Structures are given as C-alpha cells and as structure tokens.
C-alpha cells in the first residue's frame, strides 16, 4: 500500500477510536499557575488516575491491544505509538499541540483531543514504572522553584530517576516521553529523518523503560542499540522475562 494511503487509513482509525473519549481537564490549565493551583491539579490527577488508565486501555482494545501490566505492554504500546502516534497530533505543524499536551491550554478537545491519549499513555507508563521499580520510583508533584521555567514544574512527575537523564528535565514527566515519540515519528515521516534525540526509533519506549527500571543504569545507548532492543523484544515476547507484580490502582508512592 502506498505510504499516503496507509497514513490516511491510520488517521481515520485513530479519529474513530477517539470519538467519545473522556477529556482530561484539570481545574487550572496554563503555564503560569500558582503552587496552590498546582496542588489542586495534582489532587485532580490522583483522583482520576485509575480512570484515565482504564480509559486508555479501552481505547487500545480498539486496536486489538490488551494490557495486563506485563512487559508485553511496553512492547505493544511502543509499537502502537510507532505506527499510530503521529496521528494523535493535529494535522498542522503548529506548536499549539505542545502547549496543549504540556499545560492543557489549548484544552484537550477538537484538534487537540489526541493529547488525551498522549497524557493517558503517560499516566499508564508512570504507574507501570512505579509498580515495577519495587518502590524506588514514585509519583509526586514537582515543586522545586529552581525548575520554575521548566514544563514539568507543578506537574505530576516520577521521582527517583537520578542517573537516567537523557536530554530531558528531571524529574520525569511520562507524557513528555510519549509526546516525543509522536513528534519524532511525524518528523521522520515528513523529512525522512528523525531529529528528536533517539525517540525516532521503534524500540525507544522499550529501551527507555529498561533504563529507568535498571538498578544499575548504563548510558542510554547501551539499551537503545539494535541488538539490545531485538534481544529484549525476543525475551519478552517469548516469555523469558519475569511477569512482575499485579496492579492495585493506587500506585502513587
């Protein structure tokens, strides 16, 4: 199938799957909120976290993806983002979708409704990391005023990721990892090259999770090289890795 026909088909699939999707709408959008407002947004996040994950799981089932909190999820979701992630973004290349994903302004409706999936896959990714890290990683509101100009300031973030820094800001805001894959994939499709760090490779999410969960983390290239990704995919899909813990819906700390 010609590339543009395949792309049009996938965009239609995503558009249909997004119909009726619940909107993530914290009480205080924008990039100039106060600490008290950030705390209220964080309370909204915690109160809705399980529902957001359930919602994105239901969305992914429309693409025959069943998530069960095993390592298979990272392979399947990473592959889906590689194939479909760019179609979560608006058709035009305006930077407004970045503001929508980062600050919920513009709201996550209309042209920006796909940012709900970016957000919710990020929420799932964060809870997955908390679950599999055996307590080392945890959700917390980022309130360090040294980072007041950073996009993760007064946002829910994953803490405990020191030593696993690959060009973003610490602590980790998982939806940004998801957005990077979508943006990198679109860039590659439009120009033939991927320019957003290493997120332009299919195995990025798998490699990133492996680094974040490693108790003795290495340089990211160790996880991201083709042989390492191929070996890890094989081990996971063949059932050679440990299944891990069960999810109880309350992975905050």
pLDDT tens column, 209-247: 998 999 888 888 888 888 888 888 888 988 866 545 555
Max distance between CA atoms of the chain, in angstroms, equals 52
Could you tell me which residues are beta bridge partners of residue 156?
A: 141
Across the chain, mean pLDDT equals 87
Average pLDDT over residues 85-112: 90
Residue 198 near residue 220 (C-beta atoms within 8 A)? yes
DSSP class per residue in 219-235: -HHHHHSHHHHHHHHHH
pTM for this one? 0.89
- Read off φ and ψ for residue 172, nearest 5 degrees: -85, 130
Please list the helix, strand and coil fractions of the chain in percent, rounded to the nearest 5, in that order.
Answer: 55, 5, 45
d(Cα 224, Cα 228) in Å, to the nearest integer?
7
């Amino acid at each position: 199938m010609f590339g543009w026909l395949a792309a049009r088909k996938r965009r239609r699939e995503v558009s249909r799957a997004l119909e009726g999707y619940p909107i993530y709408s914290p009480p205080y959008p924008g990039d100039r909120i106060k600490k008290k407002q950030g705390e209220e947004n964080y309370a909204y996040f915690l109160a809705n976290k399980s529902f957001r994950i359930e919602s994105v799981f239901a969305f992914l089932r429309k693409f025959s993806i069943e998530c069960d909190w095993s390592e298979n999820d990272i392979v399947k979701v990473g592959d889906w983002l590689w194939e479909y992630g760019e179609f979560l973004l608006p058709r035009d290349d305006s930077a407004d979708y970045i503001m929508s994903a980062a600050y919920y302004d513009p709201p996550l409706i209309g042209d920006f409704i796909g940012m709900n999936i970016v957000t919710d896959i990020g929420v799932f990714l964060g809870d997955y990391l908390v679950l599999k890290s055996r307590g080392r990683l945890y959700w917390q509101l980022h309130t360090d005023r040294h980072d007041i100009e950073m996009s993760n300031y007064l946002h829910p973030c994953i803490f405990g990721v020191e030593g696993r820094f690959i060009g973003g800001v610490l602590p980790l805001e998982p939806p940004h990892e998801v957005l990077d894959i979508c943006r990198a994939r679109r860039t590659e499709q439009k120009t033939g090259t991927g320019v957003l760090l290493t997120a332009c490779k299919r195995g990025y999410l798998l490699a990133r999770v492996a680094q974040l969960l490693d108790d003795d983390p290495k340089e990211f290239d160790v996880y991201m090289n083709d042989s390492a990704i191929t070996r890890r995919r094989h081990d996971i899909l063949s059932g050679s890795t440990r299944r891990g813990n069960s999810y109880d819906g309350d992975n905050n700390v």
